Chains A and B, each alone.
Chain A
Amino acid sequence: MNNLNEIIHDFVAEGFQRGWKHIDASQIAADQTLEADVVIAGSGAGGGNAAEILAQAGLNVIIVEEGPLQTSRDFHMKEDEAYSKLYQESASRYTKDRGIKIFQGRMVGGGTGINWTTSFRTPASTLNFWTKEMGVKGFSEDEMRPWFEWVEKRYNIRSWIVAPNANNNALEKGCAKQGISWGKIRRNVMGCLNLGYCGTGCPVNAKQSTLVTTIPGALKGGATLISKARAETFELKNDKIEVMTCRSMTPLGNAPAKHSINIKARHYVLAAGGIGSPAILMRSENKILNPYGLVGKRTFLHPVNVSGAIMPYPVNGEYGAPQTSYSNHYIETRLDNKKSGFSLECPPLQPMLVATNLEGHGKVHAEIMRQRPFLQVLIALQRDGFHPESIGGSVYLKTDGTPGLDYKVSGYVWKGIRDAFLVMAEIQFAAGAKAVSPVHRDATLYYSLNKVKKAIETLPMEILKARLFSAHVMGGCSMGEDTTKSVVNSKGRHHEVENLSVFDGSVFPTSIAANPMESIFATTAKFATELAKNLVS
């Protein structure tokens, strides 16, 4: 028991008690003006990561985060609490036409605070595509290797040797029977208790999110954290940013409050994610920030479709590390882009997540929920952005200035989604499923492979019928050397505005074709190290 107490010792909360600098903007009584060497909008995989590197180089850093500061003691493994506090729009953000539900973190730690710890290096095929097709420099496999190695050390990204839970085990078993390659996922954890609650905030500080690693690192280096403040606009003079304006949020965090916080800095870093970062540039309404109208364009999502199966044994997918096994078979065999490739993974299966993302209501829904302990679920993530038809979405501003995403699923990706429904059903039946149900408005439970096959052939692949999800927003401020085809250069520096950088997943010119956290870590570690050098010298 002593060990357990040590593990759950909330050293982040204690750090703040000892004097790490933090302003909860929902509690301030007056407008504020602050100054720093570097101000970073966002504290997730990009912002938190960059903050430590910049602060430890001796720069005075301010991190601005829209979400709340919550630490392990606040994480109670309760879905109702977590989704409303730690996710964008209470975990009910949708694309403009409601076709895709987007899960994004909104807390100190960003997505790393609530993601499922899945860590992949950027696939070589993606890096090569950027180099050959998208005009990106410095991102060859060899050039990136040291950065992957560095972040793997910093975030303790390692093989996970604990046996998979039954949900992931079914993926392994089914793939093996189908002759499909599969693998074990590496995870950024230290002292993980295999609880299964990564998605509600790690209660034991095992997950090496930026909340427990690089943000504390930055704060120890003298950085200031501002939580519950939304970065709104940049004001420019002579093509240089003079100030970043922020707005305090209400204590509940769902609406802006009345105080403004203006931050003047030598350099400004956007790290608010694939929807948030473009939004700040768009709200600023300055042509120089977006001379070719590329900001917020080519936003990718890895659109996800879902297949549920009833197994003859209890799965209890709510417990155990949620995502430990995967298959990239349909990525690797489709790299020629003739057909849309996809990877296969598992989600956690806590009741609220299951109940809200199933189709239907009443008797049918209740019956599946009654059998929830036997439920096995596979998800397929489409590799969007590599085919001329797969152009991604665009960020737009709503009437109140908050951002949304308009994403139309291309016919090309829809075909991949139909293929994925079939592949998932085949794997599930091979793993012993009694029945399979594609999560689709017009589907039901099918008790044989033949029946589900037939159904999948004719199910309409249309939004609001096939239920789609995303937990990975990428692109929108894409990088490249051609100043007319990209927003930032291959070092994350804005092409036109000298004191502005973008350090997050929005710089990716395509989707990653793997869970993007480690790609964001490595890319922004590289960017921030270079920026620190420039600013210090």
Chain B
Amino acid sequence: MLTRRHLLQKSAISGITLLAFENCLASQLIPAAPEGLGHSFEFLTPYDRGILSKLTPVILAEALPKSTEESGQAIKEVIVGWDNAVSGLPTLTQKEIRKLFSVLDSNFIFSLTPRLLTGVPEAWNDPSEIEDFLYSWYISDPESLITGNELRIGYMGLVELTMAVWYGNPRSWDFCGYAGPPDLL
């Protein structure tokens, strides 16, 4: 007869198995991290970087340079900028961002949080799928009974940090018509 204890044990074991399976799967579906411009990453894992490399062009759209070479370089700089920016945040905020990436990094097919709820793309190679996902977080109801305000806050975090990093970078200034700080001398 199955006791409550057995059940708990069993679910704990299957949880661990699933997690391992999930990570194994994730490693196949998550895009490879672009090289890091010689930066030694303190916060972002290769998974995080792979995902950011796909999210950044969707978030910044036309604000990124047109040529593939330049936009590739820009995306790498955004990722390095992300790592620097997060490293300077309070520890508790860093933990929240880690939680956010754990939602983005894992593949949710077998996860306890159904992918249906979060809308995180299964793979990250289709920009229109990424846009749909981002948009669903953008318009998510901050008072949702199931996800609360988490998706909306997650959206704001992803977008705000990406914008901060890119528009703090002089490479973006041409696009937004900014001549930079005045020359004092």
Residues of A within 8 A of B (CB): 1, 4, 8, 76-80, 83-84, 89-90, 92, 97-98, 195, 197, 203-204, 252-255, 318-319, 350-352, 354-356, 358, 360-363, 365-367, 369-370, 372-373, 398-400, 402, 441, 462-465
Of chain B, the residue at the smallest CB distance from A462 is: B142
In the docked arrangement, what's the CA distance between A113 and B121, Å? 44
Per the bound structure, the CA–CA distance linking A409 and B93 in Å amounts to: 23
Of chain A, the residue at the smallest CB distance from B162 is A361
In the complex, how many angstroms separate the beta carbon of A459 from the nearest chain B beta carbon? Answer: 14
Please state if A204 and B184 are interface contacts (CB–CB under 8 Å): yes
**B172 beta carbon closer than 8 Å to chain A:** yes
Q: Is the CB of B184 within 8 A of A203?
A: yes
Q: Besides A195-B182, A252-B88, A370-B63, 13 other CB < 8 A contacts?
A: A80-B164, A83-B168, A98-B149, A252-B87, A254-B88, A351-B176, A361-B162, A362-B60, A362-B134, A369-B175, A373-B178, A399-B92, A462-B142
The 3 closest A-B pairs by CB, nearest first: A80-B168, A77-B181, A373-B177
CB neighbours (8 Å) of A370 from chain B are: 62-63, 175-177
> By the criterion CB–CB under 8 Å, are B90 and A402 in contact?
yes
Residues of B within 8 A of A354 (CB): 167, 176
Sampled A-B contacts (15; CB under 8 Å): A76-B181, A77-B182, A79-B168, A350-B178, A351-B168, A351-B173, A356-B163, A358-B163, A361-B134, A361-B162, A361-B163, A369-B176, A400-B92, A402-B90, A464-B156
How near does chain B come to A120, taking the closest CB pair, in angstroms? 28
Check B62 against A367 for contact (C-beta < 8 Å).
yes
- B160 contacts partner chain A, Cβ-Cβ < 8 Å: yes
Complex Cα spacing A463 to B149, Å: 10
Tell me whether B152 is interfacial, beta carbon within 8 Å. Answer: yes
Q: In the bound complex, what is the Cα–Cα distance between A254 and B134 (angstroms)?
A: 29
Chain B residues in 8 Å Cβ range of A318: 178
Contact residues in A for B122 (Cβ distance below 8 Å): none
Cβ B139 vs Cβ A254 within 8 A: no
Residue of A nearest to B169 (CB): A80
Minimum CB–CB distance for B129 against chain A, Å:
14
What residues of A have a CB within 8 angstroms of the CB of B40 in the complex?
none
Bound Cα distance A254, B91 (Å)? 7
A78 near B131 with CB under 8 A, answer no
How many whole Å from B92's CB to the nearest CB in chain A? 6
Once bound together, how far apart are the Cα atoms of A358 and B172, in whole Å?
16
Q: How far is the CB of A256 from chain B (nearest CB, A)?
A: 9
Q: In the bound complex, do residue B178 and residue A351 qualify as a contact, i.e. CB atoms below 8 Å apart?
A: yes
**Does B176 contact A372, Cβ atoms closer than 8 Å?**
yes
Residues of A contacting B146 with CB < 8 Å?
Answer: none
B74-106 CB contacts (< 8 Å) to partner A: 81, 85, 87-93
Partner of B149 from the list A76, A367, A464 (CB cut-off 8 Å) is A464
Across the interface, A369 reaches (CB within 8 A) one of B138, B139, B167, namely B167
Greatest chain B CB density within 10 A among A253, A369, A400, A402 is at: A369
Return the chain A residue nearest B57 by Cβ.
A362
Which of A8, A352, A369 lies in contact with B184, CB distance below 8 A?
Answer: A8
Is there contact, CB below 8 Å, between B184 and A402?
A: no
Inter-chain contact A362/B58, CB cutoff 8 Å:
yes
Q: How far is the CA of A252 from the CA of B90 in the complex (A)?
A: 10
Rounded to whole Å, the gap between the CB of B159 and the closest CB of chain A is 5
Q: Closest B-chain residue to A360, C-beta based?
A: B138
Is B93 within 8 A of A92, CB to CB?
A: yes
CB of A374, distance to nearest CB on chain B (Å): 8
Contact B138 A400 (CB under 8 A): no
Asked whether, in the complex, the Cβ of B89 is within 8 Å of the Cβ of A355, the reply is no
Which of A8, A84, A398, A465 interacts with B142 by CB under 8 Å? A465
Given contacts A255-B91, A366-B63, A462-B142, contact A355 B178 (CB under 8 A): no
B61 within 8 A of A: yes
Q: Does B29 contact A (CB under 8 A)?
A: no
Bound Cα distance from A399 to B92, whole angstroms: 9
Task: Please name all residues of chain B whose beta carbon is closer than 8 Å to the beta carbon of A372 when the two chains form the complex.
Answer: 176-178
**Nearest-CB residue, chain A, relative to B173:** A351
For the complex, what is the distance from the CA of A373 to the CA of B179, rounded to whole Å?
10
Q: Is the CB of A464 within 8 A of B173?
A: no
The residues of A that contact B163 with a CB separation of less than 8 Å are: 352, 355-356, 358, 361, 365
Provide the residues of chain B in CB contact with A369, threshold 8 Å. Answer: 63, 167, 175-176
Q: Does any Cβ of A come within 8 Å of B166's Cβ?
A: yes
Name the CB-closest residue of A to B55.
A361
Contacting residues, chain A, for B153 (C-beta < 8 A): 98, 464
A363→B149 contact, CB < 8 A: no
Q: Identify which of B60, B153, B175, B181 gathers the most chain A CB atoms within 10 Å of its CB.
A: B181
B61 touches A355 (CB 8 A): no
A363 CA to B63 CA in the complex, in Å? 8
Q: Contacts A351-B172, A355-B164 given: A362-B88 contact, CB under 8 Å?
A: no
Does residue B59 face the partner (Cβ distance < 8 Å to A)?
yes
Contact partner of A4 (CB less than 8 A), chosen from B149, B177, B184, is B184
User: Cα distance A367–B176 when bound, in Å?
Assistant: 9
B 9-35 to A, binary, CB cutoff 8 A, 1 in contact else 0: 000000000000000000000000000
Most B-side CB within 10 Å, residue of A79, A195, A358, A464: A464
Q: Nearest chain B CB to A444's CB is how many angstroms away?
A: 13
Structural contact, B62 and A402, CB atoms closer than 8 A: no
Which B residues touch A361, using CB under 8 A? 58-61, 134, 138, 159, 162-163
Q: A254: which of B90, B138, B142, B165 is its contact (CB, 8 Å)?
A: B90
Q: Does B112 contact A (CB under 8 A)?
A: no
Closest to B143 in A: A462
For residue B185, CB closer than 8 A to chain A, the reply is yes
In the complex, what residues of B have CB within 8 A of residue A464's CB? 142, 149, 152-153, 156
**CB-CB nearest in chain A for B149:** A464
With A1-B185, A402-B92: A366-B60 Cβ-Cβ less than 8 Å:
yes
Chain B residue with Cβ nearest A460: B142
- C-alpha spacing A79/B167, complex, angstroms: 9
Give A465 to B139 CA distance when docked, in angstroms.
9
Nearest CB on A from B167, distance (A): 4
- A487 vs B178: C-alpha distance in the bound complex, in angstroms? 48
Set A4, A366, A373: member contacting B185, Cβ < 8 A: A4
Query: Which residues of chain A are near B167, meaning CB under 8 Å?
Result: 79, 351-352, 354-356, 369
Contact A319 B182 (CB under 8 A): yes
Cβ–Cβ < 8 Å partners of B152 in chain A: 464
